[in-house]
A and B are shown apart, each in its own frame.
Chain A
């Protein structure tokens, strides 16, 4: 019963683990960034789902509605999404530069090239 009750948190934690696993296990630099994005997205879910109250409406005062959802987590996560996009963009830009400098985006290939000279 408890597991079902905390379903949203379970989803967030599973996504968190999947994302972190991809970052660690994959050697491809773009795939690592995909993992990083999933990892960050799981945190958005953690915040957003906590702000929702069952039966709550958007926080606009009107007659007949007494329970409101908390809008603050949405605002916070809007900021976090912007940060996430910026990070992804910078990460991809770095990968482009790495591709130009090394001719590959595989981690082990890059390591081999660095060890050669």
Chain B
């Protein structure tokens, strides 16, 4: 009975739990609420994905108003996949967070911290689940405002400026998205995505629709940190509390990628975006620039969180590269890498959180010799690094394999070579970590540290294990991604 309302529960439960956290004013109780809600949302999301895979599309009428007049929540395999990713990362990160947040955030602010986290979760799930264009903007702002607060809670004062910078860039991005949605509304008179998909083709060659495509592309690219628009990302990731970095890195940019796919393929239609307007050509250049420039910059970073932040920008390059090949195989690669990178980066940032608990600032200098004193954490980082590079038997290999396949399918052998070359850059920056952790004389502080508590190690290793498991057994990830990619290329949701 309650299963009918699963789409609405994804948004409503975290949204109501957030003020509850503020009311209880107790650190432990707030954490328990957030933990319970996160795991409940994972249960709901998997239920939704399973139903979407068997039944096709789930349409939920909010308040029983029939679409396109009322707001419709619509779950198909594409956003079902995303709901599972976001809630899975949320559940794991919440399990991890207690010791880490105790260490990094003043205890008097804990209940507010968890309230902001729940709002962020609600916003991200909302963007994924909704089938209404203006709803997307509202949820985007809910999640973004909550993210600014979470980032500003970092201990370093630079967290404040990082959050401010993200606020400016994020608001510009969101405003561009509203302009795009507004122009589409003016031309079609509807805000429902499925309805837009039917009406846009009739007016697709008018200038406002082209302008809408441009505004939406730039606005969403700001949110997903596509290469020249990524400037907010490194500082925000570097100075936020560890748990926030892991959650935001694994989910926020991925949800923005989903938005890009949704607007490109569902609303504007594959043939319009890919063939008539030539968006792929622009994406191809920017993706390649991201892969090489951001990876190269990552090599020169001493702060490990900053290094992985630049690596994230590079990995987003791989994700958008899949779109730019303009084929179903490329889209499969995009969707698989979306999941894989979410899990990998989540694992790596959680493990850095374990290190931060012991050495405070995680830099190449401060982790010297840490492989001896924190063997489990360090080995996890190495396995996560393998996945970033794309070593076989890890998830990173699976997504790069499909990316190379998509490139060869188009006859672009040079692109396959470039993908392999850029992976070598990942080898270089991950090697610096391995070298410092295993082969250098221990730093005075790293000599005395002990392994992180199990409450943090277990969730982090769960994600590392997921990196390996989905690298060996690709039926689930690639199976769902292929189905979702075909749905997107087919046009209608």
Residues of A within 8 A of B (CB): 20, 23, 29, 32, 36, 39-40, 43, 46-47, 50, 73, 76, 79-80, 83, 86-87, 90-91, 94-95, 97-98, 101-102, 110, 114
Contacts and interface: CB of A to CB of B under 8 A. Distances in A.
The B contact surface, by secondary structure, is: helix
B160 A83 contact: no
Contacts of A97: 152, 160
A91 B164 contact: yes
* Secondary structure class of chain A's binding surface, majority of residues: helix
Which 10 A-B pairs give the minimum distances between C-beta atoms? A101-B157, A83-B141, A94-B164, A98-B160, A50-B186, A97-B160, A47-B182, A91-B167, A87-B171, A76-B134
Interface stretch (B58-66, B172-180, B264-272, B368-376): B172-180
A50 B183 CA distance: 10
A101 B164 CA distance: 13
**What interface size band does chain B fall in?**
20 to 34
A17 to B, nearest CB: 13
Contacts of B157: 98, 101-102
A95 B167 CA distance: 11
A20 B172 contact: yes
Interface string B426-470: 000000000000000000000000000000000000000000000
Nearest to A94: B164
Contacts of B321: none
B145 interface: yes
Contact of A46 (B134, B168, B179): B179
Contacts of B103: none
Contacts of A43: 175, 178-179, 182
Given A80-B178, A87-B171, A98-B157, 8 more contacts: A46-B182, A86-B145, A90-B145, A90-B148, A91-B167, A95-B164, A101-B160, A114-B161
Nearest to B152: A94
Interface of B: 134, 137-138, 141, 145, 148-149, 152, 157-158, 160-161, 163-164, 167-168, 171-172, 175, 178-179, 182, 185-186
A36 B166 CA distance: 13
25 contacts: A23-B168, A29-B164, A36-B172, A43-B178, A50-B182, A73-B182, A76-B134, A79-B134, A83-B137, A83-B141, A87-B141, A87-B145, A91-B164, A91-B167, A94-B152, A94-B163, A94-B164, A95-B164, A97-B160, A98-B160, A98-B161, A98-B164, A102-B157, A110-B161, A114-B161
Contacts of A80: 137, 178
B160 A94 contact: yes
B94 to A, nearest CB: 23
B152 A40 contact: no
B301 to A, nearest CB: 16
Contacts, number: 63
B168 to A, nearest CB: 6
Contact of B172 (A23, A94, A95, A110): A23
B138 A79 contact: yes
A112 B455 CA distance: 40
A76 to B, nearest CB: 5
Nearest to B134: A76
A90 B167 contact: yes
Nearest to B144: A87
Nearest to A75: B134
A80 B140 CA distance: 12
A83 B138 contact: yes
Contacts of B179: 43, 46
A90 B149 contact: yes
Given A47-B182, A79-B134, A97-B152, A39 B175 contact: yes
Nearest to A32: B168
B209 to A, nearest CB: 15
B134 A36 contact: no
B134 A114 contact: no
Contacts of A79: 134, 138
Contacts of A39: 172, 175
